[in-house]
């Protein structure tokens, strides 16, 4: 099942020169249960198959929670461009989560532009925070 938002996101990501690989409801015959999709995307990012992922569900909260259970994933639920930029810069977020219900196509474009324009800060304070998160991921891995 394709939505206007999903189609727009794919076009925008491709127009920025990135590869788009679909999971779940966007891939015919795949498991489209949101926790399964979030885990699959999170694991692919965690393994280094992809640098980043984008996940959507009705509120965006469910996929964010599920993706963050995968060690190495720093998923951020973003509802606006400044939040997306901050998530990338200060948290080195690698999975963007969006609400299908609350995110318009126009706002999604702004969010994507901010997400891709930002990069992780080199500020030692924030790098240390992210490094602690990564260490906690590996120490709590199941």
Residue whose token pair is 């727009």 = 8
Residue 99 carries which DSSP code?
A: E
Known catalytic residues are: 57
CATH superfamily of 4-139: Sugar-phosphate isomerase, RpiB/LacA/LacB (3.40.1400.10)
Q: How far apart are CA 10 and CA 54, in angstroms?
A: 10
Q: Is 101 exposed, middle or buried (0-12, 13-18, 19+ CB in 10 A)?
A: exposed
Domain extents in the chain: 4-139
pTM, two decimals, is: 0.88
The tens digit of pLDDT for each residue in 6-35 reads 889 999 999 999 999 888 765 566 556 788
The tens digit of pLDDT for each residue in 50-100 reads 999 999 999 999 999 999 999 999 999 999 999 999 999 999 999 999 999
41: nearest Cα among 29, 25, 59: 25
């Amino acid at each position: 099942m394709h939505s206007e938002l999903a189609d727009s996101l794919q076009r925008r990501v491709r127009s920025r020169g990135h590869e788009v690989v679909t999971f779940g409801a966007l891939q015919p015959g795949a498991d489209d249960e949101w926790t399964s999709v979030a885990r699959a995307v999170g694991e692919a990012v965690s393994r280094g198959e992809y640098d980043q992922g984008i996940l959507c569900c009705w509120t965006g909260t469910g996929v964010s929670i599920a993706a963050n259970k995968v060690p190495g994933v720093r998923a951020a639920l973003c509802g606006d461009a400044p939040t997306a930029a901050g998530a990338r810069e200060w948290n080195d977020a690698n999975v963007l989560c969006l609400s299908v219900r609350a995110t318009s196509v126009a706002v999604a474009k702004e969010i994507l532009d901010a997400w891709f324009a930002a990069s992780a800060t080199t500020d030692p304070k924030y790098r240390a925070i992210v490094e602690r998160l990564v260490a906690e991921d590996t120490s709590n891995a199941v």
